[in-house]
Amino acid sequence: MNKKINLLGLLFFLSFLSLHAQMSYYYRGEKIQLTINRNYIHIIADNEFIKSSSANELFQRLNLELDGSKSVQDLVKLRLNSKPDMLEYSKLVELLKQNEQIKHVFPFFGRGDATPIGTSDIFYVKLKEVRDTMLLRMIVQEQNVKIVEQIPYMPLWHILSIRNSTLSNSVDATNYFYETGHFEAVDPAFMFHFRTSLLFFL
């Protein structure tokens, strides 16, 4: 019986790894495949923790280092000193998530030979009509998502954040919002060279 349970647990974990090795997001109504880049990770953590010896010890133990001085507010880019396999990468992510001083862990995605793209807590949603603002507010409340702001001069576009939400990253968040069928478009706000980019669906 225990062997069966262990086998089922292993199969579940392997299917989890397979699912998360590749992800997808919606672009103009089509699903675009993404492959996780295992060289980098974004985290949101307290700045005092990042500067502390305990953070340094943790990063050394997990084969991580700060990627230069690249940070945006409390979003920090980490580089893996050697590329792990998917199992090692998943364990690493889980260990980071278990640390109470690390609030969020976000993946990077590959772009062939180009610089990988990062994700954060930020994503964008485009309403179908201005009056759908109330619908947006209802859904963000259900998911504990924060409306950061409505983009100036673009009344249908809103910037949202998943901080304190159960949604794990901007790709998962945009997929959830798109699949409700209530919104015109979504954008995961991929980060190129540590800057967010809005990919317009106009």
40-82 per-position pLDDT tens digit = 999 999 888 988 999 999 999 999 998 865 556 789 999 999 9
How many Å apart are CA 145 and CA 57, to the nearest integer? Answer: 33
CB 139 within 8 A of CB 180: yes
Sheet with strand 122-127: strands edge to edge: 146-150, 157-161, 122-127, 183-187
CB 194 within 8 A of CB 77: yes
Q: Cα–Cα distances in Å, from 149 out to 96, 146, 185?
A: 29, 9, 16
Q: What is the pTM of this model?
A: 0.82
Residue range of the domain that includes 43: 34-118
Residues of the chain with pLDDT under 50: 7-20, 199-202
In a domain, 39, yes or no: yes
Say yes or no: 55 and 130 in one domain: no
- pLDDT of 18 reads 42
Say yes or no: 39 and 112 in one domain: yes
Say yes or no: 50 and 108 in one domain: yes
- From 36, 200, 176, 120, select the one nearest 187 (Cα to Cα): 200
Token representation of residue 65: 């280092």
